[in-house]
Amino acid sequence: MMFNNQQMEARTRSLTVLQQRILSCRLCQEQGYIPVAHPIVSGRANDHILVIGQAPGHRSTANNKPFSGPGGRILQKWLELAGFPPGYLHEHTYLSSLTRCDPGKNSRGNGDRRPSPAEMALCRPYLEAELRIVQPRVVLLVGTMAIEAFFARGPLEKIIGRYEERDTMLFLPLPHPSGVSRWLNDPAHQQLLHNALAILADWREGYGL
Ligand code: SF4
């Protein structure tokens, strides 16, 4: 969508106010879901692509930068496979997630805890507000939780490679880019990922992303 200068300034102001509200949020801490709330935000009102992940991990929180770890490096590589330049993920992509605070380790201590439905419900209005203000052309749903929250439930092999247009936004599901996920070990699943990245490459050219 094209915006004139005045509209862009208004959107930038609204986004700054929203991001300040998110940064000062302590709801999950106050309600006992996490010991310390440390929300992080990253993105600009004129970004054309908005990424929705699960939740920041400890590394991203420590760096105050979403997708700071290996998952971010893999996601950047996927963007490059779709024709985007190096650095695009952090410099030109709005990075959002179902919750903005690190949920901590899971009970087995071998990975990140999945945010609970209650935590996601508390954080969801921020995500809806970001979508309303930024109005991205493309929304990348990264990982099962984001896919289930915005696209569909079901096995990834029936979902990756599909997309949906809703309210002028194109929703494209992607698998989680972490080395922990074994889904991508299957060559057939790699092919599905490449199909999804080919769709993204077409949009990059067609919409000048
Ligand atoms: S996860 Fe979201 S709702 Fe919960 S404290 Fe952090 S910013 Fe607030």
The model's pLDDT over 85-130, given as tens digits with 9 standing for 90+, comes to 999 999 999 999 999 999 988 888 778 899 999 999 999 999 999 9
Cα(129) to centroid of ligand 1, in Å? 14
In the numeric block, which tokens belong to residue 194?
């490449």
Cα(83) to centroid of ligand 1, in Å? 34
Query: Residues 53-75: pLDDT tens digits?
Result: 999 988 999 999 999 989 999 99
The whole-model pTM stands at 0.95
Q: Whose CA is nearest to atom 6 of ligand 1?
A: 101
Contact 27 CB / ligand 1 (< 6 Å): yes
Domain that holds residue 153: 5-207
Residue 181: give its domain's CATH number: 3.40.470.10
Burial track 152-162 (b if 16+ CB lie within 10 A, e otherwise): eeeebeebbbe
Cα(40) to centroid of ligand 1, in Å? 9
How many domains does the chain divide into?
Answer: 1
Contact 47 CB / ligand 1 (< 6 Å): no
The angle that helices 5-23 and 117-134 make with each other, rounded to 10 degrees, is 160
Query: Residues 2-34: pLDDT tens digits?
Result: 788 888 899 999 999 999 999 999 999 999 999
Angstrom distance (rounded) from CA 9 to CA 144: 35
